[in-house]
Every structure is written in C-alpha cells, then in structure tokens.
Structure 1
Amino acid sequence: MGDINAKNFSSPASVDNSDVNINPILRPRSIAIIGMSTKPGSAGSVVLNNILAGGYEAEIHLVGRSGGEFQGRQILTNIAELPEAVDLAILMVPSEAVENTVEACIARQVKSAVCFASGFAEMGEQGREQQLRIAQTARAGGMALLGPNTVGYFNYVDAFYLMMVELTLPPRLIADDGPAVAVVAQSGGIGAHIAASLQARGVPLSYMMTTGNEAQIGLAEMIRFFASDPHTGAIAVYAEQIRSASEFIEAVSLARSNNKAVILLHPGRSAQSQEAAKSHTGALAGNHAAMQLMAGHAGVVVVDSLEEVIDVSELLLRYPVPPVGGLGLVTASGAICGLTQDYVEPLGLDLPALAPQYADLLREHLPVFLPPRNPLDLGTLSAYKPELIARGTAAILADPGIGSVLVSMAMPGPEASVLWLQHFLDGVSDSRKPAIYVMHNEDVPLSPEFMAHAKRHRAIVMRSPERALRALAKITRFGRNLTAAHAQSAGHQKSVSASITLGSGTQAEWVGKQALRALGIPVPAGTLATSYEQAVDIAGQVGYPVVIKAQAATLAHKSEVGGVLLNIGNDDELKAAWQKLHGNIQRAAPTIQLDGVLVEAMGNRGLELVVGASRDPQWGPIVMVGLGGVWVEALGDVKLLPPDLPHSAIKTELLGLNAAKLLTGFRGSVPIDMDAVAEVVATVGQLMLDRPEILEIDINPLVAYGEGQGVVALDALFVTQ
C-alpha cells in the first residue's frame, strides 16, 4: 500500500464545511460575472451566453477593468460598485488576481463564488499555499467557494448551466423523469463523459458538478447536498483525492440513510495514476487500497472503470435495493450460457439452480425437450414463441434464491426487437429485482422505436453481456456487503484492551507477547531471561526443546543477525546457544543493548498465517490476514479487512484467499481452526479501535492447528505513537 501524507493541501484540515450553503451556487437569484470583456467570444461571454440559453431571468451584473457594454449590459469597473449580497460571483480572472478578487467580493457580502482559474495546487507548493489562503479567506468571510480549476456545472433541475465552454443546451429534468442521477467529478472531462453517456441511455440527470481543486467545497459537501435533494436518486462520483475520509463517509452515510447509492470511481492503483492526479488538480497520493476497503465498508459502491460507474449508476437509480441472491439468465444462445458460466466465477457471482417449485412452474410453459433450469436457453423458440421470454424471466425472478436477471438475446429485425423487449418488460413487471436486457450485435445501432420504448418504460438495455455481468456482480457484492454490515451493527463490540500496557515506539517481541497474552491470544509458554541461570529455570518450567530469541526494540530482524536459535534440547545445548546468540549479536549489532533473551517452548508445526493491522492516517485502522511466515513476501496472499468485521464475515474473507484450500484441508491435511483465527483477527481489529495510539500490529507467524485445537502466535510486533 502506498504512503499517505497526512497533510492535506487542498483544504485546511481544521475547517468544517458541514454548514456551507451550496444553494447560492446552484440556484442563484443574482449573479456577478467578474473579469468580463467586451470582446465577442471571450470566456466571460461564453459563460454569460450559456446562462442565458438556459433561460436565466434574474439579476446579472458584469464587472470588468475596462468597463463598457456587452450585449446591452453595462460593465462595472469595480467590484465595490456591485449591490450587496449578490448570490454568486463567477470569477473569470487569472490565478494571480483571485485572492484579491475574493477579498473584494467578501467586502460586498457576496454569498458564493465559482473560480475557473488554474495555477494553484496543481502547480506545486507555492500554488497550494495560495489556494489555502483563498479557502481560509472565503470561509472566514462566510462565502462558499467552488474551485479553483473547475470547468463549471449543470443544474438540470432549474436549467442553470454554468460552463466556460460553448454548449449544446442540455435537456432539463422534468417531473415525469422521476429520480435522477447526480454526477460530481474532480475532472470536467470525466464528469461530462459520465453525464453524456447516461443521457444517451435516457437516464435522467439532476446535476453535473465539477469541483476542480476543491479549495473549499468538495465531494463531501456535494454528496451531502445531493443526499437531501428531492430530485436525486443516486450519486456518481469521480475522485482523484478524497480530502477528508471522515467527512466523506459521513456524507455517504446520509445518502445511504435516504436510500441513495454513492458510486465511486477513484484512480490511483498505480504510481503513474497518482502522479497524473497530482499534476491535474494538485491531489496528493492516498492509500488506494485503504480507500477502496474502507469506502466500500462505509456503503460506497467502488467501481473499477468508467463503464462500471455508468452502468452501476443506472442500475442503482432504477433499482435502489441491491440484490443479494444469485444471477438468473435467460437467453436464446447455448454459447452465452457457457460463456456466462466462465464469466461469473471470477466476478464472485453464482448461477444457482432453480428451486423445484419454480422449475415446475416454468415446465408448464416449455416443450418437453427444453429443461426448466437456470440458465434458461430458449434456443430458436424465442423466434416462434417470444412470449417464453416473459414466462422464463418471470419464473426465474420468482425464485427467492435469484437476486437479479440478465436476458441476453440475439438482435432480430426492428419490429421483432420491440416485441421481444416488451416480453422482457412483461416478465419483470411484477419484480423489483434488477434486470438487464442485452441486445447482441453491439456495433449495430438500435432502432429509434426500440430506444423510445425502452426509455418510456425505464428498461435497462445494454449491448454487451460481459459488461452487464460486471455491473450485476458489482451491485450484488454491494448488496451482500450491506447485509453483512447490518448483521455486524446488530452485534455488540466490546472493549478488549483494558489490561494492555505499552510504551511508545517499536515494542520488543516479549512486550508484544505480554499484550497478546492479556488479550487472550495464545503465545508459547516462556518469558524473558536476563541471565543464563534464569534461562535454565525457564526452560525447566516450560520443558525442552526450547527456542531462544534476542530481545530489543531496535532489533527488527532477529533471524538475520543470528538472534534466533531453535530446537535446544537440554541444559548443555542451552548454555552453548546462549553464548552463540550473544556472540552473534555482538558481531552483527555491537551497539544494541538487549532487554534480555526470550526463552520459549518450541511449538508444534501447523499452518503459518499472518494477522496484522496498521493505522492509515486518512482512513484509520485496517486489518490484514493471510498466509504467513516467508509466504507473506513471496506470495502476498492476504486480505485487507475493516477492523470491526464480525466472525462470520472474517471467516468468509479467509475463504477468499488464493490458498483457501490449505485452510479447509488439502491432500491429507486437516482443516484449520477457523474460529480461533477469526477470534484473533477480531481481537486485533477491536484493539486498534480501542487504542488509537497503536500504529501497527504484526503477528507473524500465527500458527493455526486443526479444528478445535486453536492457534499460537510465535512472533509479535507492536508499534505505538
């Protein structure tokens, strides 16, 4: 996972924007365009013409250094000439003039401003500092600020279109459209792409906002606004940086409480992508894996591509209750049945068999040679008896084990295509489960009659079965995560750390094991010896064979310097090992002062796992579990988990490891004690929640034995503030 710089230059971390009023930006009752020129085709004239094209009829004031007139409107020469309390100032000034312009607007009690200028955080340290000053000035003056480096926004509800590029007038949202998707993006190009793609499908939009560098107003503020907006039913987000994880999650929680999904596309899995984001908006690289994990845990649908953000947004707008059951498939192609079986497995989606009563229901309508099953292959019958599309779809959707359905059909002629679509609509009419109709031949345009019929009935139509499957898999995983979260919230998380005492900094292994023992996590019998005589006494108590380990907080890799000696069988061997260990440390690390030597009983062999946790500066504690010992670095087969997962969810995640077969018994080995492993993972997670001073925990290896035989932690590292 990449490092996070906790210092955030996009917005002062101490500023609370939860009460910022966005209404003057989206629905201004008066406007001032500052930096206006009399030249036709200037940026100011483009902005003004876009606003007027939407039908804006309230006050418009123009301010420009040279004065004059534009389209019959007087251009004032000074901001001080504006009336007080203008709702929105549109700043068409260069970056070096923005700070003074903001101060002048505040002096006239302007309520909000939009800044198009670039040349701030994306330019480096000096630009970041300037951006911070502007944000602090706006906040102190009670003025909401959008930008800098934004290209504008669309308010489709009120037909208010503020963009610095010439527009083909977008369609206004009408009452008959129902709930709509709101798009918020830190990129104007991506925001416009998502919006245009959704509109091309007939999906209604409420807003399309580009937030740019987010000096003040950002994703959290916009999501919070959309969460309460009566016109918005789902929120599509493109983010290159989430400046405040806590504010973002709080806003998402508000949206979820209002049954509105938040769909997030966030680049940054690669170093190159992070660098591109930095040069675009000045966004600092964050820990993408931590973001993906914790945002998803908070109820965000984290997607991986532009295709998915469009597809999933349409699906969750149309079907706000995500599925938890498996996939139902109706098709006229046996090949699609086979291909789908291949696709769904890596997507984590299943094709469950129909329950007997629903298979019997379907059998009544099928010829004897066509088995009533899932997937359902209608073959050539779809051409002669297209009503079977409706019958098959309805029967499959009626099965409680089915969470969503995909009807994937070859492309017939224009008239038949509308008829088949209607049969699909008839089949899904009594169900609220997500349903997608795929018409093959994706490079062949659909007829206008087909598209009009689909839009009129809010049918979700796609052209690629693979793309439809990815979208359905995403929302199914989302639905299952929500179900797990509800089950988790119903449980009681108890404190586990009352008896733990830790110092500051990196802790020696023996200190870490004392902490584990106090938490109820098994460790080998043994303790710290500061002399050979003590070591002999301890060995006598725990029984030979023993292991001895050099102990010091600054001795990070004991084995590499000869600080770990194994299989010591008696007192004489212990004496020789004691001398050898101290000689190894003296040669390899002569300046290290040992706390002593840990003397422990040798443990039995088992499956070596790793359980760890780290505290991300932005997203908080994250737990890791996977194959341990040398396999951690060799294979990296680990799962990242939220710190508060219940046992059942932890066990499910363990079974998602690539090496899950080793956990359940493989080639004669016995299944491990999954409950004991889950208990350790849950305890470590709860400890991270209870004790914010703990930065890192690493238990490697945690040896797991057979069912009912427990686990034992052979090594432990704690790092504290």
Structure 2
Amino acid sequence: MTGSETGRGAPALSGAEAVEIFMRPRSIAVVGVSSKPGTAGRTVLANLGLNSYAGGVHIVGRAEGEIDGRPVKQSIDDLPEGVDLAVFTLPAAGVKEALQACARRGVRAVTVFSSGFAEVGNHAAQNELVAIANDAGIALLGPNCLGYTNLVDGLPIGFANARKVALVPKDGRNPAVAMVSQSGGLMAYASLTLAARALPVSYTVATGNEAGVGMADFIDFFAEDAATRVIALYLEEVRDPKGFLAAAARARSAGKSLVAIHPGRGEKGKAAVQSHTGALAGDYAAMRVHLERAGVVLVDTLEEWVDVVELLARYPEAPTQGPGVLTFSGGFCAIAHDFFEDLGLELPPLTDESAAELAPQLPPYIPPRNPLDLGTQAIWQPELTGIGTSALIKDEGVGSVLIAINSGTAKSQAVYAPHFIAALKGQKKPAILGFPAPEMNEAFEASVRENGLILSRSLERSMRALARVTHHGRNLERAARSVSHASFGDLPELGVGAQPEWLGKQLLEAIGVPIPRGGLAKNLAAAQEIAGRVGYPVAVKAQAGALAHKTEAGGVLLGIGDADALAAAWGTLHDNIARAEPDLVLDGVLVERMAPRGLELMVGAKRDARWGPVVLVGLGGVWVEALGDVRLLPADMAEADIVEELGRLRSAKLLGGFRGSPPRDVAAVARIASLVGRLMMTIPRIVEIDLNPVFVHGEGEGLTAVDALVVTAS
C-alpha cells in the first residue's frame, strides 16, 4: 500500500506497522457470520475462543440474536468506531460494499478470504478494493487469502479448521521459522515437515492476491520479530520486486535468513529479437541474480526448501568453505567427492595442524584426511566417531560437517549417539547427522532433537543442503565486496531503440572497452581513406539501427586486402542490402581493421523490466546459440568475483590454455564486464548491451570487442 494521505486524513499503512495490526489486533469484527455451525465465520470465531483471544470480538451477520454469547450486529455500520481488524467471510459479490462500510467506521485492517478477483481475471473488481482501502487508510490482506496464524501470541485467523495452537517463546530462545506463502497447501506441507523435526514455526501467512499488504510488508515485520530466525518464502510471483529486495536487505541486516522457492526456472526467457543477451537472461534467471544478491537463498525443490530452512535455523552463520565428511565407507568417500564437485564445491583437505593432532588418535591404517573414513574400526572403538567429528568441527579449513553413516541399525545408533552428540552439541559450524537406515532408534532420535541437532535419512539431500548453504555464504561475501559505480562523463548522444554498431562502439570506446580501429564512411573515397589510415586487411559492415542482423543480410564482408578489393566489396555490400532490405537507408559503412583472432567470448547486459540490470559473460560467437554456456552476474560484482565466475563456465578449460593455445586474458574480460555493469547501473535508458564476439587474446594482451549492439528505451 502507498504511504500517501488518505481520504480520512490518516496515512495508508504499510510495512511492519500494517502487519502488526493483523497479528496483534486489539479488536476483531467477523463479517458475514452464518448461524450454521462449521461455516467459515463460525470457524474464525471458534479459533478466537479456543485460543483465548482477549480483545474485543464483534459479529456481523444476518441472523438475529446471539452466537457464542455475543450479539449479532446486522450491519458493519453498527460496529464501534476504529475496530482494528475485520475478517470478511463473505462471497465476492459482497466484499466491495463491506469494505466501503469498514471505511466509514474507521476499521484499520481487513482480511478478505473471498475468491473471484484477479486470480480469475477479475482485475477491475480487485482494483476497486485497492482504491477504497488506499483512500480510507485500510491495510488490506487478500483477497483470495487462506488466512494466517500468529503462534507467538496464539492468534489463528483462518477458516479451514479450528484448533488451539502451541505457542512459541517470544524471546527467540528456540530458533523459529516464519512462513509466508502464495500457496496455502505448500505452506501446510512445510509447516508440518518442520514440526516433525521439532523446529518451531512462529507465523504462517497465506498472502492471497496481495492487493494490499504483501511479501515485503511481512518480511519487514518478521525482521523485527525476536521469535523469528528464518523467513521461509514460497513465491509464485513477486509483485513488487523493488520493495521485496529492500525488505530482504533489511531482514538480512537484522540477522535473519531468507529461504525461498519459486517455480518457473524451466520457463524459457522472453524472445529477444535483437540479441542473445535478452534470450539468455530470462525473467527467472534475472530474478535469481537479484534475490541472491539481496541475501535470499533460492532453492530448487520442496525438500531442499525445508532442509535449508532447518540448517539456517539451527546454524545461522552460513559457511564459505567446503564441507568435511565422516563416514564408515570408503565407497562413500568417492561418491561424496563426485557429488560435491557436481554441486560446485570441493572437499577441503585437513589442515596440517588438524592432521597432526588427529593422527595419533587413529589406528595407523586410517589416514587423517577429508573425507575421514573410519571403516569398521568404529564397531570396536565407537569413541572414534566423536574424535573424528571433533577434528572436523575444529578444522579451520572445513566449513560444515556431514556424518554419513550409510549403514546402521537402531542398536548401533544407540552406541554411537553419545559420541556424536558430545562432539556437536553447542557448536556453531553447520552439521548434519546422516543415517539412511531402515529403522531409527527412538531414544537416539529423541536425544538428537533435544540437543537441537539435525538428523537426516537422506545423504544426497544432506549434501545438497550443505552445498546450497555454503554457496549462500559465498554470495554474502561477494555482496559485501560489491562495487559502487560512478557515472561516466563525455559519452556520445544515443537515440531510441537499437543503436547502429558504429554508435554503440563509440559509447563502448568512451567507457574503456577496446574496439577495432576504424570509422564510419559515407562513400567509397572515405572508406578507402579510413582503410589506408588503419591498415589492411579490413572489414566493412553496413550500418543502420534497424539492421539488427547484418550478416544474414549480406551486410558484413571480411578480410578485404587492398583498395581495389575494397571498391568491389563496397558495391557487393550495397547490392546485398538492397536485395535484403530494399527500403532501408544506411547511416554509412563501418570500416575497421581486422582484429587479431582470439577466443570468442560474449559480454552482455540486460535491464529486466521488473528486477533491474544483470550482466552476462560466456562462450561467444556461434557457440552462444549452440551451447548457452554463460554466467549471469549482478551488475555491481567485483572484478575478482567475475574472474571466478568465468572459471565456472563449462568451457572454462579454453581460458587456461587448451591444446597448445595460450592462456587467455581473463582479467581483461572481467574488466569490461565490470564496465558494462557500471554503464547499466548509471544510465537507466540503456536496456540491453550485446558484445559478441569479443576476441580474447593471450594473457596480458587484452581483448577486442568486434561486434556490439546497444538498445535504449525512451
């Protein structure tokens, strides 16, 4: 909701202030209550009674008399002035009139369960509700909302069932999770899963259509809530990206972790007619870059969602170093190496100090290394499990610990349990006890839960969760290294839309991107003068902003060796354009000295209409279409981190010298990627940049951007 002045003279509520009214109302009016038991309104009232709600309760319905000992008012206009919260249990047709009545009575917040609005295409009716709420200063939740539960104060506002809720301590003694979801069903799944792991949930919220308060408002509220350590989010659409990112940053500053799942990563990016960058930097990919930059952990599966939520609730300090593994199986050591490598991590070797301290405590045939394979020796010396776990926990090069006991009975679990628990209890380093056993010792499981440790029956899920949290820790470090961008000066004037290559290259040269020597020729004599000045061989390229695909139109001729060849090429090029684009008027012909060949990469950028700019680097030339081997980056990423991202390309071997070719100037690629990011951050008119190919020369020899497209908005 906006913060503008309302028709009642009070500012419209937003953020934590608005959510506070929903979560801790001093008075509640339930509107649309039926005399029939089990209906939505009666369920809301039952929830208030079962949870001993101490505020004022008002009932508005058609039935005369009393319900649960309270009088039934026939109209909202009969309510006292200034009720904090009205809960609508009405059909959609009655919502507008009821909201107008709430505005007359000064109601501060309204929850609308009713469906039949924007979710079914009825945007006009929903927009009317927004206008009424904004004008009256009403905080609006919904419509199409399943409700919410405050488990800190004991306030369930929902119509699905009536129950007494178990309270969570307000002071944060136990790590609790707040859940905000655009799917009520998935919120229930996650809540029940976390409850089975003895991890308390502080709040659950189904936001519905978010016509008024939405994700950002709830994140702001949970950022200030002492009982909440992790905010779990299910997102189908982020309706206010700018507000969401700002709220996420505030929550991170308050020490909260945010873990989100968002379907849609398989959806193809919107078609981009003029560049590869637009096609490769699709909506989901751009969103992911910005969410992770803001400190949100974005996961891919429901299982990973709850696993990572539990990890960050138990262990809020995300690691940046790879995990340590303790196991009884040499085979699992090899599997762990492969699995973590596929997830972008390496298992770090033990430090010399750790190895020296651990070696005397192990039998001579068990080498002190990571993974630490105790083999069958732990059967006779169960204390080795605690010794090994402690060594991994203490090792400064190990970021987290996985205990991977991939064979174990309930009896053996009871034997090992005291050693594991003693080694892990009270430690801050993330750790998972992985026991994929067919049976579980109840006492062992209870002891693990009582000590706040994590128990998993899936080693693969455990490894994925540790990897995701480790990458999150690294993302936080990168964000702390982000660069602030100053504006460029003395840049050429740009038109609107796709800029001709010659003008785009003038812009790029002005910010420090190396381009071939050359110039724009209006006639053959000028072309021959330019070629004579820069030196043959040259390339000639037809120039017009509307000519996006010059090569396909025959508008690019390469390797022209002398003045006579240039005269012939001049005629051929113009004939080709006349056939392909008969009505096109050229700006001229770009004449450039042929650049020395190099490894073909691409550097691009896109301004997503909702999320903002992202930068793209990857294998270029024709390979960008064939392989799509690219990395998408924040526009403010530090050059050293861009170098690291280049090393994560599938084709990264080509950068280091491959089959006799020299190592490439990766630092130069990072430098121009940073310059392109700076351009996007400081000139909002630019919506797309596509440098493809960029010839990357030998280490220390730089690069040359041989083709460029710049697209601007009005």
Answering whether residue 155 of structure 2 is matched by residue 160 of structure 1, we say: yes
Q: Which amino acid aligns with 1:346?
A: D
Please state if 1:31 is matched with 2:32.
no
Give ranges in structure 1 of 5+ residues lacking alignment: 1-14, 275-285
Q: 1:365 to 1:480 in 2, by over 3 A?
A: same
Question: Cα–Cα, structure 1 residues 712 and 266, in superposed 2: closer, same or farther, change >3 Å?
Answer: same
Equivalent residue number for residue 563 of structure 1: 555
Distance 2:677 2:125 in 1: 40
> 1:225 maps to which residue?
221
Preserved contact between residue 624 and residue 638 of structure 1 (Cα < 8 Å) = yes
Please give the per-residue CA displacement for 1:290-332, whole angstroms capped at 9, x wherever unaligned. 1111110111111111111111111111111100111101112
- Structure 1 match to 2:495: 503
1:430 deviates by 6.0
Q: Is the 8 A contact 2:46 2:162 kept in 1?
A: no
Q: Is the 8 A contact 1:38 1:69 kept in 2?
A: no
CA contact (8 A) 1:497 1:690 kept: no
- TM-superposition CA deviations, 1:262-317 (whole Å, max 9, x none): 1111111234999xxxxxxxxxxx91111111110111111111111111111111
Structure 2 counterpart of 1:302, from 277, 298, 304: 298
Q: Out of 70, 75, 80, which is 1:73 matched to?
A: 70
Taking structure 1 as the reference length, what is the TM-score of the superposition?
A: 0.93
Of 118, 126, 131, which aligns to 1:121? 118
Within the alignment, does 1:261 sit opposite 2:253 as a pair? no
Query: In the aligned structure 2, how far is the partner of 1:418 from the partner of 1:303?
Result: 34
Match among 11, 14, 17 for residue 14 of structure 2 = 17
1:182-331 counterparts in 2 under 5 A?
182-271=178-267, 287-331=283-327
Provide closer, same or farther for how the CA distance between residues 106 and 398 of structure 1 changes in structure 2, counting only shifts above 3 A: same
Q: Name the CA distance, whole Å, in 2 between partners of 1:136 and 1:424.
A: 59
State the match for 1:85 in structure 2.
82
Q: Please, which of 639, 649, 658 is the counterpart of residue 631 of structure 2?
A: 639
- The reply to whether residue 41 of structure 1 matches residue 33 of structure 2 is no
Match of 2:379 among 383, 396, 420: 383
Letter in 1 for 2:629: D
Quick check: 172-181 or 689-698, which moved more?
Answer: 172-181
**CA distance 1:447–1:58, shift in 2 (3 Å):** farther
- Of the three residues 142, 149, 161, the one matched with 2:144 is 149
> What secondary structure is seen at the aligned counterpart in 1 of 2:526?
helix
Match of 1:12 in 2: none
Unaligned runs of 5+ in 2: 1-11, 271-281
Measured in 2, the distance between the counterparts of 1:431 and 1:205 equals: 23
Is 1:180–1:203's contact at 8 Å kept on the other side of the alignment?
Answer: yes
8 Å CA contact retained: 1:547, 1:599? yes
Q: Is the 8 A contact 2:485 2:681 kept in 1?
A: no
Distance 1:566 1:413 in 2: 72
Q: Which amino acid aligns with 1:566?
A: L
Task: Give, as a single letter, the amino acid of the residue that structure 1 aligns with 2:351.
Answer: A
Cα deviation, residue 139, structure 1: 2.2
CA distance in 2, matches of 1:245, 1:49: 37
- Check 1:51–1:419 CA distance in 2 against 1; reply closer, same or farther (3 A cut): farther
Q: Name which of 149, 174, 191 aligns with 2:169.
A: 174
Contact residue 117 and residue 143 of structure 2 kept, 8 A: yes
Kindly provide the amino acid, as one letter, of the partner of residue 345 in structure 1.
E
Residue 3 of structure 2 aligns with which residue? none
For residues 295 and 16 of structure 2, the distance between their equivalents in structure 1, rounded to whole angstroms, comes to: 23
The question of whether the paired residues in 1 share the 8 Å contact of 2:502 and 2:520 is answered with: yes
Secondary structure of the residue aligned to 1:559 is: coil
SS at structure 1 position matched to 2:578: helix
Q: Is 1:541 matched up with 2:537?
A: no
Shift in Å at residue 562 of structure 1?
1.1
How far did residue 136 of structure 1 move? 2.4
1:477-533 per-residue CA deviation (whole Å, 9 max, x = no partner) reads 010111122123xx5533335434312221101111111111121111110111111
Q: What is the SS of the residue equivalent to 1:401?
A: coil
1:496–1:683 Cα contact (<8 Å) kept = no
- Which residues in structure 2 correspond to 1:579-590 (within 5 Å)? 579-590=571-582
Q: Following TM superposition, by how much is the alpha carbon of 1:640 offset from its aligned partner in structure 2, in angstroms?
A: 0.9
1:513 is matched with 505
Inter-CA distance 459–430: structure 2 relative to 1 (3 Å threshold): closer
Query: Match of 1:452?
Result: 446
Give the 5 Å matches for 1:340-351.
Answer: 340-351=336-347
The equivalent residue for 1:279 is none
Distance 2:674 2:83 in 1: 54
3-state SS of paired residue (2:361): coil
Per the TM alignment, residue 695 of structure 1 is displaced from its structure 2 partner at its CA by: 1.0
Equivalent position SS for 1:611: strand
Residue 451 of structure 1 aligns to which amino acid in structure 2? E
| 1:585-600 alignment, distance < 5 Å | 585-600=577-592
1:681 Cα deviation after fit: 0.3
Return the alpha-carbon distance in structure 1 between the equivalents of residues 617 and 269 of structure 2. Answer: 27
Q: Are the structure 2 counterparts of residues 16 and 247 from structure 1 closer, same or farther at C-alpha, using a change threshold of 3 Å?
A: farther
Give how far 1:335 is off. Answer: 2.6
Q: Does 1:482 align with 2:473?
A: no
Residue 570 (structure 1) shift: 1.1
Distance 2:343 2:315 in 1: 20
**Which residue matches 1:602?**
594
Cα distance change, pair 669–352 in 1 and its aligned pair in 2 (3 A): same
Aligned-pair CA distance for 1:676: 0.8
Distance 1:686 1:272, change over 3 A: closer
Q: Is the 8 A contact 2:425 2:453 kept in 1?
A: no
CA drift at 1:470? 0.5
- Distance change >3 Å, CA 492–CA 619, structure 1 → 2: closer
Mapped partners of 1:374, 1:632: distance in 2: 38
Q: Report the Cα offset of residue 69 of structure 1.
A: 2.6
The superposition leaves residues 38-66 of structure 1 with CA deviations (integer Å, 9 ceiling, x where unpaired) of 11121211222122222223221111123
Q: Which residue of 2 aligns with 1:7?
A: none
Do the aligned residues in 2 keep the contact of 1:38 with 1:68 (CA within 8 Å)? no
The match for 2:9 is none
Q: Quick one: distance in 2 between partners of 1:336 and 1:162?
A: 48
Question: Would you say 1:52 and 2:49 are equivalent positions?
Answer: yes
How many pairs does the alignment contain?
690
- Among 471, 492, 512, the alignment partner of 2:465 is 471
The corresponding residue for 1:4 is none
Q: TM-score, length-normalised on structure 2?
A: 0.94
Please report how far the alpha carbon of residue 20 of structure 1 lies from its aligned counterpart in structure 2 after TM superposition: 4.6
Q: Secondary structure at the match of 1:433?
A: coil
CA contact (8 A) 2:15 2:213 kept: no
Q: Is the 8 A contact 1:497 1:691 kept in 2?
A: no
1:352 aligned partner: 348
- State the secondary structure of the residue aligned to 1:263: strand
Percentage of matched positions with identical amino acids: 47
| Secondary structure of the corresponding residue to residue 671 of structure 1 | coil
For 1:536 and 1:94, the matched residues in 2 are separated by 77
**Whole-angstrom CA distance in 2 between matches of 1:540 and 1:339:** 62
Say if 2:612 is the partner of 1:623. no
Superimposed CA distance per residue, residues 415-460 of structure 1 (whole angstroms, 9 cap, x where no aligned partner): 642442331121124631101111122x53x343233212221011
Secondary structure, aligned partner of 1:49: helix
